[in-house]
Amino acid sequence: MFHRPALLRGRTAFATASVAVLGLVLTLTAGAAPAPAAPGPAPGPVVRTDVGSAPGSKTALAGYAIQSTAKVADSPTVVSSPGYPASGWYRAGPRSTVLAALLAAGVHPDPFYSTGQKRIPAEDFAVPWWYRADLVVADPAVRTYLDVSGVMSAADVYVNGRQVAGASTVTGAYTRHEIDLTDLVEAGTNTVAFRVRPNDPRKHFTMGWLDWLQPPPDRNMGIVRDVTVRRGGPVALRDAHVVTALALPAMSSADLTVKARVRNDSPAPVTTTVSGTVGPVAVSRSVRLAAHETRTLVFSPADHPALRLRAPRVWWPATMGRQPLYRLDLTATVDGAPSDTAHETFGIREVRAPLNADGARQYEVNGRPLLIKGAGWSPDAYLRWDRTYVEDRLRYALDLGLNTLRLEGHIEPDEFFDLADRYGILTLPGWECCDKWEGEVNRGGSGERWTPADYPVAKASMAAEAARLRHHPSVISFLIGSDAAPNRRIEQGYLDALKAADWTAPVIPAASGAASPLTGASGMKMTGPYEWVPPRYWYDKRAGGAGGFNSETSAGPDVPTLDTLRRMMSPAELDSLWKDPGAAQYHRSPSATFATLKLYDEALSHRYGPPTDLTDYVRKAQLAQYESVRAQFEAYARHAKDASEPSTGVIYWMFNSGWTSLHWQLVDRYLDQGGAYFGAKKANEPLHVQYGYGDRTVAVVNNRTSRASGLTARVTLFSTDGAQRYDRTVTGVSVAGGGASSAVLTVPASVTGLSTTYLARLVLTDGAGREVSRNVYWLSTADDVLDYAGTTWYYTPTSAYADLRGLAAMPRTSVTATGSTVTTTPTTSTSTTTVTLRHTGAGKAPALLTDVHLVGARGAPVLPVRWSDNQVSLWPGESTTLTATYRTADLHGAAPRLRISGWNTPTATVPAG
């Protein structure tokens, strides 16, 4: 994020071991181990991993026993020897920060509630911590390697009492290190121990939190990626991958080039045969290697013509097509016996991102341009990996009509990108702003300047990530800068690493409007806002408005539902939330700029009226967030095909938060959905009718691939009492596919009899008269007025506010709901609840923004849940049918019920059948 001043935010000798930095992989070898120390009388947790013996097998460590070095008086030799008792130590998972392990052990209370995290003493993490694990090896004759990544910030590594790597080498969250343990391991139990150094994102190439959330006191110190044990014979296969080249525009063929490093780890010459399949094509070649020689094998269409695939199965983003994947499987054999294997899944697709005539980055997938509609991704605040939780959020992203997620730093484990490949979600990973990553070039940040030792670490980080991500078709760029672009020396290191890794996706120098010496202009803008602005802001092609590619932007705060607020804040904090706009909110940000909700609350009070209690505050917040988020995505979609300054991409800041938050989220920590969520879902629906705040034009946007014709658009304006004041219907509407839009009509600037606050109902029907899009706006005859002269890096002030206070005077009315639930087979364990809502009230008043929550025991929301639609508005006599899909187990045995609420309807709970 653009965190300007608002947030002052070789060779190591030991026995016979050696260390060599080789771009992606740092390879180390070590000598024999001493005799193990005698075990103590009170053993602690023992974490064992049974290591496979098959050549080519990879076994991730099952976890660790951890403890602060302040509580361990024994020497590293003793700690890292088999049989050490680890008395009083804690158990940690295979990917775990120190604090994550302590939370799992119940050492500290729930840090997501109130200010509980403040009570965790930071001094506990000012010293190194031990991470210790046992490896059970049945056959030590098979070569053994330890593959290490994800260490924050650095670690000394010991195996069976001997140091095999130092913290000067094993440093940085993204570097990767291969340690040869063949001469150290013995049959039976072996021990690996990491003395993990404290983390400081200002000083180390790791991960920080900047102004996203209150940073955990351990600063994510620990090991957050799998450490794996690899087994093999005399010849090792490394860096196997496929470089794809799709013939455009026909896509009738694709060239596949297979590369792999073949390394002889034995002291004698050897002949190896590397063979296998890449997709449907078989490849094979024999090569003679001298002792300890490494060669790169290449299989290309020139020597294997079948590698020019005819009619390839092409990978597409979810909104554009299917997501087929291919496999690469190679085996190196020596004297007919397997020595090592390599496996990879890849997709065939071509990504380009040229600059358009206005200098904006325009992405193209397989030759077809697309508007990037995305949001910023956040992992868990304590970097805990939960595949189900991640998959739930990815499904939410698709449900919202998003096609892209940006990962600024916090680049997730391999499984995240596997899921993105499968779901067809594009990703934009890149380095983090404002800390060590930009310390040399971003003087407004908090990162320390680079030393000569930092450059090879940064380059090795780039090499490791490039090799890890290059085969994922979902990865469509790497951003080598965020708020600032790298200087020539840093950039050259990154580009050299990317080239060596056969990186083919575009390389973007920065997420801001900065340019780098070698790559040139970024084609992106980082002009905010990050704080509240009115809906009409997005329609002006100024600052963060809908023109070009905005890499991170939103109207800032997002107050979650009342259910979530009560889970995350104390009664006193909830009282302050609605009563005191100037109060610092712990669940907003550590930044002084974003500490309070003052700007947001002022706008809420001016536009909707001062809140009367917490419930009133939250319901007004949901309306405000719905209209703001909807307008942001609608404006960017509407301007995507403009002849001048078209919008090419928008990244909502952010998709989710890593903890319980009051800002920057479309979905909250507990996966509940409020106005922001359903505003985005409405704006991004496949065929969409929308109102332009900037010029009052009603348009139809077609996000489908094919043209839509024979449509009818109807626009009706109502006073808040339900009296109809304007009505117009346009038939024969046609709009091309691929994100094209078509203007239908312009609403008059003045309509007789219209109240100051009024409602606009837009309905789009197809040729058969079926409703395909409905969109309801609450508007004012008095517009919001923006003070562009006062624009800062984080927002544009509003000098006059739209008057929406008339909504408070809307007549009360009623909505009834009936529901039925169908549970699928036990295999999938999902249920679908169908809900029919009917406006049954008397009079003319509509039921505005009717929300349905599926609830279980004690009225708690069933989450996650995917609604076909929600927060709908109904006029007298109207009805609509919604569906909710969810895991049956999340009911916890309770019968499903429906909680119905709305702006001007009473809350009621009814059975769901």
DSSP symbol at 783: P
Q: How far is CA 458 from the centre of its chain?
A: 22
Phi-psi region of 346 (alpha: psi -120 to 50; beta: other; left: phi over 0): beta
Residue 218 near residue 117 (C-beta atoms within 8 A): no
Query: Which residues are bridge partners to 446 per DSSP?
Result: none
Q: Give the residue numbers annotated as catalytic, written as ranges.
A: 483, 552
* Residue 744: its H or E element: strand 740-746
- CA distances to 319, 674, 683, 717, 728 from 846, rounded to whole Å, are 34, 20, 21, 12, 19
Tokens of 289: 């290697």
Query: Would you call 578 helix, strand, or coil by DSSP?
Result: helix
Query: Would you call 5 helix, strand, or coil by DSSP?
Result: coil
Query: Which residues are bridge partners to 253 per DSSP?
Result: 310
Residue 509 near residue 480 (C-beta atoms within 8 A): yes
How do beta strands 188-196 and 155-159 pair? antiparallel
* Residue 16: its H or E element: none
- CA distances to 104, 676, 898 from 901, rounded to whole Å, are 37, 17, 10
CA distance 75 to 526: 50
Residue 905 near residue 816 (C-beta atoms within 8 A): no
Phi-psi region of 643 (alpha: psi -120 to 50; beta: other; left: phi over 0): alpha
How many other CB atoms are there within 10 angstroms of residue 600's CB atom?
A: 23
CA distance 641 to 307: 38
How many other CB atoms are there within 10 angstroms of residue 475's CB atom?
A: 24
Tokens 């702003």 belong to: 433
CA distance 808 to 720: 9
Q: Quickly list DSSP for 481-536.
A: -SSS---HHHHHHHHHHHHHTT--S-EES-SSS-EETTTEE---B-----S---GG
Query: Would you call 649 helix, strand, or coil by DSSP?
Result: strand
CA distance 507 to 868: 37
Q: How many CA atoms lie within 13 A of 140 on its CB side?
A: 13
Task: Tell me which residue of 138, 184, 163, 143 sits closest to 292, measured CA to CA.
Answer: 143
How many other CB atoms are there within 10 angstroms of residue 320's CB atom?
A: 17
